[in-house]
Amino acid sequence: MAKKGRFSEFGEAIRNFWNSPGIPSFIEILEKGLDKELFFDPDRADSQIPKEDLPIDFRLRQSGFARKFYEKLFPVSHVFRITHRYGREFLDNFMPLASDNYIGRGSYKFVYTLPWNQVVKIGKSKLPSDPIFGSLYKEVQNNLERYLKPEEIGLMHHLQKSVWGESKRDEIRFKFARLGLERLHYWKLKSLIPDLVLPTRFFMGLRFRRSPFGIPVVTLTPCDNQNLLPGKHLKEFIRLNEKVRQNPIQDALFPKWKLNFDTHRFGIINKSKLKKIALDFHRVIEVTRYLASEEKLIFDIHSENIIITIPDFELKIFDYHVFDEHLYEPSKENPSPEVDHINLIKEFVSSFELG
């Protein structure tokens, strides 16, 4: 109860903070320090992290025939950050892309490595009916000036004036509202466990593809970028060697395995580092519980969202989405949906055998 009370007080303090006069804006707080965190000198760029040291889930890299054919026909070329300056759209932050730099995809983004040990995540097209667009999206949509920079709002209005039809203008507004939503999801986690959340810059991007006829295919889409860390997804440390007994149909179609941490998978891990990882996982559990109980939000944590860095063996979360509780499907075993995520982490930590 003490821990729950502490998080409740913290959440109340944040709400009071927003309502106080003379405070920095949401964007100023969110982006504080990012210029330093994400700075790179192209003339003194570090050597590329070897691909075998990257936290890549190769199953996420696989695409079907139709997608592979499309990528061959319209290969990705580059992405710009687009904003509004001098009374018109303004492009900066050129980021070269290539199919060889594609390292994964999630439910909402495609991920590419950049030549300077960073990644750029390019938003996929989504329909407004997607469960991600719940109460937090409504909050952003009704208060765009809080979650978007002035130049981003200026760009949105500028682009809306350049198109015909209400549906096109709504589509542009939807994309900018989604950009603000990504920032809000990030803030939900960053404000509670700042040292575990990877610093991330969110921006509106203009993605270019090359067509067979030499005409570029241009897409306006929310993007974000982060520093690239050597490490492994959580699932890459898992050894599946004990099957969980279910009924015969589930065993055949949906097999379950006990999650065991393989301490020798990437060398011998010091016990003190295992204890630190376990403690950080318990902090993630407390945050998950707090969001579920106090804000009715489900932190969508999966093994693909977490990496353990190498050689430091530190826990880092690099993907952040939260859903409304009533829009998230719980399992039959756990009617409260956050329990699935908590049990996954608990089972993993218990395999450390720390006592």
- pTM value is 0.85
Highest mean pLDDT among 45-54, 62-71, 222-231, 265-274: 222-231
Q: What is the pLDDT of residue 135?
A: 94
User: What does the pLDDT average to over 146-162?
Assistant: 95
Structural domain boundaries in the chain: 74-226, 231-351
User: What does the pLDDT average to over 51-57?
Assistant: 81
Highest mean pLDDT among 114-118, 173-177, 267-271: 173-177
Please give the residue that has the higher pLDDT: either 312 or 224.
224
10 Å Cβ neighbour count for 85? 12
* Confidence tier at 337 by pLDDT (50, 70, 90): confident
Closest CA to 124 of 227, 225, 223: 223
Q: What is the pLDDT of residue 11?
A: 62
Q: Are 162 and 82 in contact (CB under 8 A)?
A: no
**Which of 87-96, 137-146, 346-355 has the least mean pLDDT?**
346-355
Residue pLDDT, tens place only, 210-249: 998 888 999 999 999 999 999 888 877 776 656 667 777 7
User: What does the pLDDT average to over 53-58?
Assistant: 79
Residue type, position 8, single letter: S
Q: Are 101 and 112 in contact (CB under 8 A)?
A: yes
Q: Are 281 and 315 in contact (CB under 8 A)?
A: yes
CA-CA distance, 11 to 335, in Å (whole number)?
25
Return the biggest CA–CA distance within the chain: 67
* Confidence tier at 2 by pLDDT (50, 70, 90): low
What is the phi/psi pair of residue 64, to 5°?
Answer: -75, 175
* Confidence tier at 201 by pLDDT (50, 70, 90): very high
Mean pLDDT of the residues in the chain:
85
Q: What is the pLDDT of residue 18?
A: 55
**Which of 106-120, 152-166, 260-274 has the least mean pLDDT?**
260-274
Q: Is the pLDDT of residue 325 over 90?
A: no
* Confidence tier at 273 by pLDDT (50, 70, 90): confident
Give how far the C-alpha of residue 230 lies from the chain's centroid of Cα atoms, to the nearest Å. 17
SS (H, E, C) the chain: CHHHHHHHHHHHHHHHHHCCCCCCCHHHHHHCCHHHHCCCCHHHCCCCCCHHHCCCCHHHHCCCHHHHHHHHHCCEEEEEEEEEECCEEEEEEEEECCHHHEEEECCCEEEEECCCCEEEEEECCCCCCCCCCCHHHHHHHHCHHHHCCHHHHHHHHHHHHCCCCHHHHHHHHHHHHHHHHHHHHHHHHHCCCCCCECCCEEEEEEEEECCCCCCCEEEEEEEEEEECCCEEEHHHHEECCCEECCCHHHHHHCCEECCEECCCECECCCHHHHHHHHHHHHHHHHHHHHHHHHHCEEECCCCCCEEEECCCCCEEECCCCEEEHHHCCCCCCCCCCHHHHHHHHHHHHHCCCCC
> In degrees, to the nearest 5, what angle opens at C-alpha 64 toward C-alphas 67 and 256?
140
> In degrees, to the nearest 5, what angle opens at C-alpha 213 toward C-alphas 207 and 217?
15
* Confidence tier at 198 by pLDDT (50, 70, 90): very high
